[in-house]
Structure formats: structure tokens, C-alpha cells
Structure 1
Amino acid sequence: MKFTTKKYGLLGLGFLLVAGLASASATTERTQLAKDNHGCVGEEGYSWCVKQKQCVRPSKVLIDNDLELTAENFHNFCENNR
């Protein structure tokens, strides 16, 4: 079977169309993630830290401050300013 330039062009166009649709789908999913009152995206592992006045990953905050990885420690560190 002999492929002509026209057929290769159509194959290339089809590939670009599929790649574009996949990219658009990924972007749509990203914009649908819910944010809390502070703009933190919990589904990506972020929580609001009053002490640091920003969205943080609890595990990173606790590790950086040499604290055991527990919800109680995160709450005490960020909410109670201990």
C-alpha cells in the first residue's frame, strides 16, 4: 500500500487532534478541583496554616519542624501557634 502526502497529512492531523483533546481534558480536570475558604486545594494535599498564613502541605510543615506526622501535631502547630 502506497501512502501519499495527503494520507500522511491526514494521519498527522488526526494525531494532533487526539493530542489536543487529551490536553484539554487534563486542563478541565485541573480547574474542577475544589478550594476551601482560603483557596487551598485539599485534593492536592494542601491545608490552611494560620501561623504561616498560607496553604501548606501538612507533612512538609511537620517534617520541617521536626514534629511527628499526626493531625493533632499539625493542628497544634498551625492553629494554636505552639
Structure 2
Amino acid sequence: MKNGWRVSMALIALVAACSSQQPAPAQSPMAQGADEDEFGCIGSAGYQWCARTNACERPWLLAEQEGFDNTKAGFDAYCD
């Protein structure tokens, strides 16, 4: 009878140890690339909407291609 009690206690301890919940891994508030704007441009990849080209553009590349200043003001003036 004593061995049965010991076995029962060991099983209870084992089940209790296995059933404890592990903390969830830390996650970033937003997955990469999930910052799509209303036009479908992904800001974290450097894209912004340009109405003039009717496309998502990387401002520094567009500035080099079209010859305007690589600044927010330059991009806005070209694209608006």
C-alpha cells in the first residue's frame, strides 16, 4: 500500500510539472512588413506613395532618377 501511495504521488507531481504553462515568447508589436499604408506602400521597406507616378516609390531612388533634391520637401514637391 505504501508503494502505491508513493507511485500515485510521483504521478501527480509529474502531471503537475508537465501541465504548467510556459510563458509565450516575446513578440514585436507588429510583424515586419505589416505597416502597409492605404496605398499598399510598406514604410518599413522605405516606400512612400507618389501621386505623380501613381506608385509606391523609394524617395532617394526617385530623387536620383528624376533629379530633384533628396529631401522630404523635394519628394513632396515632385509627387504632389
Shorter-chain TM range is 0.5 to 0.7
Structure 2: unaligned runs, 5 residues or longer: 1-30
In structure 2, the residue matched to 1:46 is 47
SS in 2 for 1:55: strand
Whose Rg is larger? Answer: 2
Matched residues, number: 50
Deviation at 1:65, TM superposition (A): 1.1
Task: Give the aligned CA root-mean-square deviation in angstroms.
Answer: 1.3
Tell me the TM-score normalized by structure 1.
0.56
Q: CA separation in 2, counterparts of 1:54 and 1:68?
A: 19
Deviation at 1:66, TM superposition (A): 1.3
Larger % of helix: which? 1
Q: CA separation in 1, counterparts of 2:70 and 2:49?
A: 16
Instruction: Give matches, 1:28-67, under 5 Å.
Output: 29-30=31-32, 33-67=34-68
Instruction: Give matches, 1:1-82, under 5 Å.
Output: 29-30=31-32, 33-79=34-80
Q: CA separation in 2, counterparts of 1:66 and 1:51?
A: 15
Tell me the TM-score normalized by structure 2.
0.58
Structure 1: unaligned runs, 5 residues or longer: 1-28
Q: Which runs of 4+ in 1 moved over 4 A?
A: none
